[in-house]
Amino acid sequence: MSDIKEGIQNHLLELQLEIDDIFAKGRDSVVSEVTIGQIYGGMRGLIALACNTSYVDPYSGLHISEYTTDEFSDKLPEEIFFLLSTGKFPDRKSLAEFQNDLSLRATIPQYTWNVLRSLHKDTHPMTMLSLGILSMENESVFKKEYQKGLKKSEYWEYTLEDAMNILAKLPGLAAGIYQIRFGDGNLIPHDSNLDWSGNLANMLGISNDKGFADLMRLYLVLHCDHEGGNVSAFTSRVVNSALSDLYYAVSAGLNGLAGPLHGLANQECLRFILEIHDKFGDDPDEDVLRAYILDILNSGKVIPGYGHAVLRVTDPRFTAFMNFGEANCASNHCFKIAKKLFSVVPDILIHYKGGKVANPWPNVDAMSGSLLNHYGLNEFDFYTVLFGVSRVMGFCAQNILALGLGQPIIRPKSVTNRWVLEKLTVPG
Where in the sequence numbering do the catalytic residues fall? Answer: 262, 308, 365
C-alpha angle with apex 107: 136 to 79, nearest 5 degrees? 95
Q: What are phi and psi of 334, to 5 degrees?
A: -65, -40
Other CB atoms closer than 10 Å to residue 185's CB: what's the count?
11
189: left (phi over 0), alpha (psi -120 to 50) or beta: beta
Question: Is 318:366 a contact under the CB 8 Å cutoff?
Answer: yes
Sequence-distant (6+) residues with CB within 8 A of 293 are 303, 341, 344, 345, 348
Question: Is 159:4 a contact under the CB 8 Å cutoff?
Answer: no
Question: Is 186:175 a contact under the CB 8 Å cutoff?
Answer: no
Supply the Cα-derived Rg of the chain in whole angstroms: 22
Q: Taken in order 316, 318, 319, 323, is the CA torsion positive or negative? A: positive
Number of residues written out for the chain: 428
Query: Dihedral, CA atoms, 190, 53, 43, 260, nearest 10 degrees?
Result: -20
Q: Using the CB atoms, write b or e for 341-374: b if 16+ within 10 Å.
A: bbebbbebbeebeeeebebbbbbbbbbbbbbbbb
Q: What are phi and psi of 57, to 5 degrees?
A: -90, 135
Q: What does the alpha-carbon distance between residue 344 and residue 338 come to, in Å, rounded to a whole number?
A: 10
